[in-house]
Homo-oligomer: A and B are copies of this chain.
Amino acid sequence: MGNCSQGCQHYFCRPKNTNVRVSLPAVCFVWQVAMIILFGVFVRYDKEADAHWSETKKEENITSNVENDFYYRYPSFQDVHVMIFVGFGFLMTFLKRYSFGGVGFNFLIAAFGLQWALLMQGWFHSLDPVTGYIYIGIENLINADFCVAGCLIAFGALLGKVSPVQLMVMTLFGVTLYAVEEYIILNLLHAIDAGGSMVIHIFGAYYGLTISWVLYRPNLHQSKRLHGSVYHSDVFAMIGTLFLWMYWPSFNSAICYHGDGQHRAAINTYLSLAASVLTTFAISSLSAKRGKLDMVHIQNATLAGGVAMGTAAEFMIQPYGALIVGFCCGIVSTFGYLVLTPFMEKCLKIQDTCGIHNLHAMPGVLGGVVGAITAATASNAVYSPEGLINTFDFQGNFATRSVTTQGAYQAAAMCVALIFGIGGGALVGLILRFPIWGDAEDDNCFDDEVYWEVSGLNFKD
């Protein structure tokens, strides 16, 4: 029962009660009511979504409705939205008897998380000090979805081992930590991270892994019979994989600056992802008897190229640079599944259901490093003076920052993400160990019947 001293075992090791009939509705109601009150006090439409827009247009000399940010970002927003709910949701249906939990709890915590993220990110980024209001528009919705993505990554490590109430608590704290970490990285350090290699992936992955470490289940092998896939659950998971893969260019370009920034981010991500597919297939085949491919690799490591292009998405990394990043990620990520995941479970006592260390943590770190290097080597010749200012937002307080300094701050940002992930995960993991959250026994993990009415199962055990 967890990686802690034996002294606390007495308290923590009472027989488990998975009845969430009181706790789950209570948490849902209390938090939703809190959201309504806080939104009532703090949140209003921003000027582009407010009915005063026709006045704003006159004041700001905007001639066409098409200049409303909605038209620049809405298609990308919808793609990101699909990634959050169908992408992450179906990626987690791969277990033979935990598909309801995978897609259903993903739905629950994402729907809660995005509300809380609008508030937390709003307080840090969009609060008008005069009126005291947070003004939200389409970019806030995208950022809220991004923030939720961090928590869903963490969910990947915990899949099948925690109760929905624990997931709600994990999301509440995760979103809070994310908003602070994001503020430090983007505003104080002024690092660039449009697709969130650091802010989303490093943070989310280490947050989840640390929680998983604290919640270590020594007898998880008792659920071995359910800890795997069946034929059709692997096909369901491919729905998630493909929607993540296809829409990742939108993810990385969604909040880039208008024009060439969004355009370039989409191209880079498209190429990086394509390259990681080939190296994933190569390593997967190379590692198995008779060259047989493993669905777990195809479902996950093919996405590593998107994770690793998060930071440098809008940089002038050039098409071949993007291919190199994807090439490396596919290899690293697939090796992770082959070598690291079993090692971590056995030696480090980290049980990582979906292998988020391979899909998010390592490619995220790689992405952060690539971002730091490419930022430090940026030049006026490659970017044009105005392009350099646009890309790195060298304006206001940061007008005089050099690209080398920027590179150093990018590296620092990576450390911040790591610290928040590990520190936050340790804290939240301890909270989640209280025996009040309704999680299941070790021999009852990965089983939908604990939290769902399941009828008419159609597979052999």
- Are A25 and B285 in contact, CB atoms less than 8 angstroms apart? yes
Complex CA gap A50/B263 in Å reads 8
- Is residue A247 contacting chain B, with contact meaning CB distance below 8 A? yes
Bitwise, A449-461 to B at CB < 8 A (1) or not (0) is 0011111111110
- Are B271 and A457 in contact, CB atoms less than 8 angstroms apart? no
- Are B292 and A78 in contact, CB atoms less than 8 angstroms apart? no
- Are B456 and A36 in contact, CB atoms less than 8 angstroms apart? no
> Restricting to A118-132, which residues have a CB under 8 Å from any CB of B?
118
Complex CA gap A215/B388 in Å reads 55
Chain B, Cβ-Cβ closest to A96: B456
Given A65-B258, A78-B247, A112-B274: A452 touches B236 (CB 8 Å cut-off): no
Chain B binder among A184-192, A194-202, A315-323, A347-355: A315-323
Indicate which residue in B24, B48, B387 contacts A282 across the interface (CB closer than 8 Å). B24
Given A229-B455, A320-B36, A384-B55: A260 touches B71 (CB 8 Å cut-off): no
- Are A323 and B274 in contact, CB atoms less than 8 angstroms apart? no
Complex CA gap A153/B337 in Å reads 33
Complex CA gap A99/B458 in Å reads 15
- Are A279 and B115 in contact, CB atoms less than 8 angstroms apart? no
CB distance from A303 to the nearest CB of B (A): 11
> Restricting to A343-383, which residues have a CB under 8 Å from any CB of B?
382-383
Complex CA gap A155/B78 in Å reads 27
Choose among A54, A90, A281 the residue with the greatest number of B CB atoms under 10 Å from its CB: A281
Specify which chain B residues have a CB less than 8 angstroms from the CB of A114 in the assembled complex: 270, 274
> Restricting to A204-252, which residues have a CB under 8 Å from any CB of B?
228-232, 234-236, 238-239, 242-243, 245-247, 249-250
Specify which chain B residues have a CB less than 8 angstroms from the CB of A37 in the assembled complex: 320
Chain B binder among A4-12, A38-46, A408-416, A418-426: A38-46
- Are B324 and A49 in contact, CB atoms less than 8 angstroms apart? no
CB distance from A116 to the nearest CB of B (A): 10
- Are B32 and A107 in contact, CB atoms less than 8 angstroms apart? no
Q: Which residues of A contact B (CB under 8 A)?
A: 18-25, 28-29, 31-33, 35-37, 39-40, 43-45, 48-55, 57, 64-72, 74-76, 78-79, 81-82, 85-86, 89-90, 93, 96-97, 99-100, 103-104, 107-108, 111-112, 114-115, 118, 136-138, 141, 164, 228-232, 234-236, 238-239, 242-243, 245-247, 249-250, 258-260, 262-264, 266-267, 270-271, 273-275, 277-279, 281-283, 285-286, 288-295, 298, 302, 316, 318-320, 323-324, 327, 382-384, 386-388, 390-391, 438, 451-460
8 tightest A-B contacts by CB? Answer: A51-B387, A21-B291, A53-B260, A111-B277, A28-B282, A65-B259, A40-B320, A458-B459
Contacts A29-B282, A141-B266 supplied; 15 other A-B pairs, CB < 8 Å:
A25-B285, A32-B279, A32-B323, A45-B260, A45-B264, A55-B387, A64-B67, A70-B263, A90-B239, A99-B231, A100-B295, A108-B281, A136-B319, A239-B239, A292-B452
